[in-house]
Amino acid sequence: MEDLLVSDVKKIEILEVLKDGKVHSFYNLSKEVGTNFNTVKKNCNFLELLDLIDIDRTTAEESATGKPRYRVEINERGRELLESAEFSNLF
């Protein structure tokens, strides 16, 4: 794992947290992986681009609190990646 960038390690840590199958917020993930909200948001957007997670977005206009909300969960492809032998051999 020493050849990986810090941001890559954070992405893997996010996937590891999400493998519990629960829905998480960016805030919760930031606490779980020990980084800030914006770093988690950027890493999650990238993981979504790779189709490893799903992000349900509620805009500020749609939200009763007037703040945007994000619900993040791992999808089947993300689970398959974590369980794959090739992925496990990286560590």
| Tens digits of residue pLDDT in 24-51 | 999 999 999 999 999 999 999 999 999 9
The mean of the pLDDT values for the chain is 92
Measured between alpha carbons, how far is residue 19 from residues 15, 52, 71, 73, 79 in Å?
Answer: 6, 11, 14, 8, 7
pLDDT at 4: 82
- Statement: 6-88 belongs to CATH 3.40.50.2020: no
Domain locations in the chain? Answer: 6-88
